[in-house]
């Protein structure tokens, strides 16, 4: 039985997972690079800025010493912004023990390489045994013990089952899946569609528009995933349509909130500054756009999102261009080689 776990990253999701693990009777050590964050967590037993109202149990400790955090743990839970995963993994590699399981909880694609987070970790930590934890899971709800279901995914199914056992509780149900590619891509790419759903809301559009975005969005996510070797059934599950639903419809979603502001006329930078948290969908849009071009996969929603975010295209024009594309047969398209 695993008794000691270190959570690397003390944002809202890291804090929520630490609370969930601690409630399972596990001793948790939370690491942050920010000394003031560690001081606040230690004194307040609450992340007052990112997860207010969620009390952190006494069996959670805090440190800014990465070497201590890694050495003291049996399992590492990596919960840092996607674009800092590489440097964090590189720093961890100096201290990690062979066969230690790393639970990757960051959702995104690396800018410049298009790599999934487990691939980034694997490049920096030789023979890393990585399990992806993903699914429709707002930190605000997990921290409060609201029933949530997620997926532990790995090509090493025994490692995935161990992570399932660690996290499983009456409030936090965990499934396993051997399709790490599909699980990671679903978790990353849904942020692109959530940004678009927010833009739709900001433009004043309704439920019809959002339903279309979500449905056509999961279609193009599946296309790219299948072209990269993912199981198409994964995208019908929790880390595909499940995560897409929650991220496109909830105000807990920072991607949707940023999209609303863009739809209302703010620039992407202004929107991100106002949200005051990492908006993973922005960098993921660029990475997904580049991957789709490289693999020659049609992703019209992602392409228009890229134009809005990086080339200054007006959102209303992007919507018009999407609506007036060449006519298609829906069933024939769904039966195409991508699916």
The span from the CA of 31 to the CA of 8, in Å, is 5
- Specify the 3-state DSSP secondary structure of 85: helix
The span from the CA of 309 to the CA of 172, in Å, is 35
Q: Which residues contact 233 (CB under 8 A, 6 or more apart)?
A: none
Query: What's the 3-state SS for 170-185?
Result: CCEEEEEECCHHHHHH
Bridge partners (DSSP) listed for residue 153:
132, 177
CA angle 118, 124, 125 (to 5 degrees): 80
The span from the CA of 226 to the CA of 334, in Å, is 12
> How do 129-134 and 101-104 pair as beta strands?
parallel
Q: How far is CA 3 from CA 26, 74, 133, 166, in A?
A: 5, 7, 19, 9
190 as an active site residue: the answer is: yes
DSSP annotation of 239 reads I
Rounded to the nearest 5 percent, the helix, strand and coil shares of the chain are 55, 15, 35
CA dihedral 321, 322, 325, 331 (to 10 degrees): 180
Name which of 149, 155, 139 is nearest 56 in CA terms.
139
Class of residue 308 by CB neighbours under 10 A (exposed 0-12, middle 13-18, buried 19+): buried
Q: What is the CA radius of gyration of the chain?
A: 20
> CB–CB of 259/202 below 8 Å?
yes
Helices (H) and strands (E) in the chain, counts: 16, 8
Catalytic residue among 50, 107, 129, 190: 190
Residues with catalytic roles: 190
């Amino acid at each position: 039985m695993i008794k000691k776990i270190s959570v690397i990253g003390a944002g809202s999701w890291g804090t929520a997972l630490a609370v969930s693990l601690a409630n399972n009777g596990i001793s948790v050590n939370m690491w942050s690079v920010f000394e003031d964050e560690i001081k606040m967590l230690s004194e307040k037993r609450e992340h007052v800025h990112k997860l207010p109202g969620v009390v952190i149990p006494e069996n959670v400790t805090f440190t800014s010493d990465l070497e201590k955090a890694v050495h003291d743990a049996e399992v590492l839970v990596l919960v840092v912004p996607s674009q800092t995963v590489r440097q964090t993994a590189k720093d961890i590699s100096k201290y990690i023990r062979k066969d230690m399981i790393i639970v990757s909880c960051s959702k995104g694609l690396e800018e410049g390489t298009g790599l999934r987070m487990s691939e980034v970790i694997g490049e920096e930590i030789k023979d890393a045994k990585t399990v992806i934890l993903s699914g429709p899971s707002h930190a605000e709800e997990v921290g409060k013990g609201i029933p949530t279901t997620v997926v532990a995914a790995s090509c090493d199914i025994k490692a995935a089952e161990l992570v399932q056992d660690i996290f499983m509780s009456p409030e936090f149900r965990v499934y396993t899946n051997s399709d790490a590619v599909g699980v990671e891509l679903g978790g990353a790419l849904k942020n692109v569609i959530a940004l678009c759903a927010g833009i739709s809301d900001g433009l004043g559009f309704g439920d019809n528009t959002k339903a279309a975005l979500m449905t056509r969005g999961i279609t193009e996510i599946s296309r790219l995933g299948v072209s990269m070797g993912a199981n198409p059934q994964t995208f019908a599950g929790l880390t595909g349509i499940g995560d897409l639903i929650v991220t496109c419809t909830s105000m807990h979603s920072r991607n949707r909130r940023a999209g609303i502001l863009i739809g209302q006329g703010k620039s992407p930078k202004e929107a991100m500054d106002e949200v005051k948290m990492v908006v993973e969908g922005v960098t993921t849009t660029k990475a997904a756009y580049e991957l789709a071009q490289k693999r020659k996969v049609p992703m019209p929603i992602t392409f228009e999102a890229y134009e809005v975010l990086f080339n200054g295209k007006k959102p209303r024009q992007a919507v018009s261009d999407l609506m007036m594309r060449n006519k298609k047969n829906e069933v024939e398209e769904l039966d195409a080689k991508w699916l």
